[in-house]
């Protein structure tokens, strides 16, 4: 069963379950909320449990359990739970699947409850951050993480190759994709690896948006109805990437496993939360964090986003909404900002973010985090994205060979997914 059909089935199921949950919950009744997440990171879980404990202090009959699901099949596992009548009360939702969840009717409305929550200040949550999670003006999930993609840099490897560092290129006003790849190629020729798009691995193609947006390229039109993979902007961007891999040796090829944070590569594109992976002590290297290079279409930013929603088919919808309001209030949003860049305007400043991200300098926070959130576009998503993602991935396999015809491959992608759009 596809994810979209699963959600539709879950929505229909909600109509059967909700009446069973009617009636007030008595104060003494025990309520056990379950929230699915895709992180098993101990620091993340400790913070979530701390927030849950604060909620329990004023709601002694409520417990909150965080259920960690593997990231690779997170959405599939979640929709399977929903279809099987085992939906969590709350869940993290990926930006690529936002349209499916928000438009399916599976998620509870949040706007009124948030607006009425004491001290919540819904107006502090930016409209740009919530745009993906609204339908007909109603908020259906809270964007707890709005994280820009940026470039982590190993200055030691670049210096050893005699190339220019991104900081030097930025100072000279020459931080472009062309120059970034030249630096990566120089490091590659010196025995290390150049540039890694983290988590791409020739599978998660949407992460290449961190490059192709510099050409003004997109996989489909703004309304989502027309495939634009074969348009000139995308063809030029993918040709640039293909050349960097197979001709310049600036990026690892298919099947190569390289870890920037182990000191094996000069640069990696990823989100700022990965700063926690930077080596310390004897293994540390001279690192930097810089914005994405400018492309032919100019400067740009790309953000990954995650929301938290409450499922309507749950037995404790009102309490789950109340917990989400507590979890995303100003105080707890400041705690979440340690790992997940916030959607609240009041927290988007170097002083606040610096307290929760001590590894980053004020300049890095301003130029990468704050500017990226203000100007960034979210990774591409679409209704039925899980199915579209797999079809595109399979078609793009033909691109990852040295003699690939880029235009032909991307035309084939559009021929396959056009009916799905």
Q: How many CB atoms lie within 10 A of CB 238?
A: 25
Mean pLDDT of 117-137: 92
Mean pLDDT of 308-336: 96
Mean pLDDT of 219-238: 96
Instruction: Look at residue 7 in the predicted model and tell me its pLDDT.
Output: 55
Torsion, Cα 109 112 116 120, to 10 degrees, reads 60
Instruction: Look at residue 349 in the predicted model and tell me its pLDDT.
Output: 87
pLDDT at 107 over 50: yes
**Local confidence band at 28 (pLDDT 50, 70, 90 cut-offs):** low
- Per the DSSP assignment, residues forming a β-bridge with 303 are 148, 378
Instruction: Look at residue 374 in the predicted model and tell me its pLDDT.
Output: 81
* Contact of 126 with 345, CB cutoff 8 Å: yes
pLDDT at 27 over 80: no
31 SS3 class: strand
* More confidently predicted of 318 and 379: 318
* More confidently predicted of 26 and 361: 361
**Local confidence band at 271 (pLDDT 50, 70, 90 cut-offs):** confident
Distance CA(239)–CA(248), nearest Å, equals: 12
Which of these, 226, 217, 208, lies nearest to 399 by C-alpha position? 208
Instruction: Look at residue 12 in the predicted model and tell me its pLDDT.
Output: 42
Domains detected in the chain: 3-147+303-378 (3.40.190.10)
Instruction: Look at residue 191 in the predicted model and tell me its pLDDT.
Output: 94
Q: What is the 3-state secondary structure (H, E, C) of 272-298?
A: HHHHHHCCCHHHCCCEEEECCCEECCE
pLDDT at 171 over 70: yes
Residue with tokens 């920037």: 260
259 SS3 class: coil
Distance CA(32)–CA(293), nearest Å, equals: 47
**Local confidence band at 358 (pLDDT 50, 70, 90 cut-offs):** confident
**Local confidence band at 389 (pLDDT 50, 70, 90 cut-offs):** very high
* Contact of 68 with 105, CB cutoff 8 Å: no
CA 158 from centre of chain: 28
The encoded tokens of residue 392 equal 């595109």
pLDDT at 22 over 50: no
Please, how many CA atoms are within 13 Å of residue 103, restricted to the half-sphere of its CB? Answer: 13
Instruction: Look at residue 287 in the predicted model and tell me its pLDDT.
Output: 96
172-211 per-position pLDDT tens digit: 999 999 999 999 999 999 999 999 999 899 999 999 999 9
Which of these, 184, 180, 160, 157, lies nearest to 168 by C-alpha position? 180
Average pLDDT of the chain is: 90
Lowest mean pLDDT among 150-159, 329-338, 411-420: 329-338
Instruction: Look at residue 354 in the predicted model and tell me its pLDDT.
Output: 83
**Local confidence band at 14 (pLDDT 50, 70, 90 cut-offs):** very low
Instruction: Look at residue 126 in the predicted model and tell me its pLDDT.
Output: 87
pLDDT at 23 over 50: no
% pLDDT > 70, the chain: 93
Distance CA(119)–CA(127), nearest Å, equals: 19
Distance CA(300)–CA(177), nearest Å, equals: 12
Query: What pairing do the DSSP bridges indicate for beta strands 31-37 and 142-154?
Result: unpaired
Distance CA(2)–CA(389), nearest Å, equals: 12
Torsions phi, psi of 306, nearest 5?
Answer: -135, 140
Instruction: Look at residue 203 in the predicted model and tell me its pLDDT.
Output: 92
pLDDT at 9 over 60: no
Q: Which residues contact residue 248 at a Cβ distance below 8 angstroms, ignoring those fewer than 6 apart?
A: 181, 184, 185, 188
% pLDDT > 90, the chain: 71
Instruction: Look at residue 400 in the predicted model and tell me its pLDDT.
Output: 98
**Local confidence band at 386 (pLDDT 50, 70, 90 cut-offs):** confident
pLDDT at 18 over 80: no
State the DSSP code for 164: P
Mean pLDDT of 396-410: 98
pLDDT at 100 over 80: yes
**Local confidence band at 10 (pLDDT 50, 70, 90 cut-offs):** very low
Residue with tokens 């400067």: 299
């Amino acid at each position: 069963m596809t994810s979209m059909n699963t959600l539709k089935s879950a929505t229909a199921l909600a109509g059967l379950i909700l009446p069973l949950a009617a009636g007030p919950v008595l104060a003494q009744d025990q309520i056990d909320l379950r929230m699915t997440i895709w992180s098993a990171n101990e620091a993340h879980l400790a913070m979530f449990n701390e927030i849950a404990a604060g909620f329990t202090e004023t709601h002694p009959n409520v417990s909150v359990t965080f259920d960690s699901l593997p990231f690779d099949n997170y959405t599939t596992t979640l929709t399977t739970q929903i279809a099987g009548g085992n939906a969590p009360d709350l869940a993290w939702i990926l930006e690529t699947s936002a349209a499916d969840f928000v438009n399916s009717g599976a998620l509870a409305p949040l706007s009124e409850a948030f607006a009425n929550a004491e001290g919540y200040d819904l107006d502090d949550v930016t409209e740009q951050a919530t745009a993906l999670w609204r339908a007909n003006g109603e908020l259906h999930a809270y964007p707890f993480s709005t994280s820009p993609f940026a470039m982590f840099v190993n200055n030691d490897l670049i210096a050893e190759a005699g190339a220019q560092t991104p900081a030097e290129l930025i100072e000279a006003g020459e931080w472009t994709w062309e120059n970034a790849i030249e630096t990566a190629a120089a490091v590659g020729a010196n025995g290390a690896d150049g540039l890694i798009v983290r988590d791409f691995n020739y599978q998660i193609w949407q992460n290449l948006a961190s490059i192709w947006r510099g050409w003004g390229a997109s996989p489909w039109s703004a309304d989502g109805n027309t495939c634009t993979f074969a348009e000139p902007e995308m063809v030029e961007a993918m040709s640039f990437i293909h050349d960097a891999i197979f001709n310049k040796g600036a990026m690892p090829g298919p099947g190569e496993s390289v870890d920037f944070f182990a000191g094996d590569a000069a640069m990696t594109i990823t989100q700022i939360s990965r700063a926690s992976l930077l080596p310390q002590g004897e293994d540390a290297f001279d690192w930097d964090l810089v914005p994405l290079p400018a492309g032919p279409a100019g400067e740009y930013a790309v953000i990954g986003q995650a929301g938290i929603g409450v499922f309507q088919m749950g037995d404790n919808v009102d309490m789950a909404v109340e917990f989400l309001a507590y979890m995303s209030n100003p105080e707890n949003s400041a705690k979440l900002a340690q790992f997940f860049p916030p959607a609240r305007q009041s927290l988007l400043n170097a002083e606040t973010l610096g307290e929760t991200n001590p590894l980053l300098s004020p300049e890095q926070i301003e130029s990468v985090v704050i500017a990226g959130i203000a100007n960034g576009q979210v990774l591409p998503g679409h209704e039925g994205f899980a199915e579209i993602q797999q079809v595109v991935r399979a078609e793009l396999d033909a691109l990852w060979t040295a003699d690939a015809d880029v235009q032909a491959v991307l035309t084939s992608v559009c021929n396959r997914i056009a009916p799905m759009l």
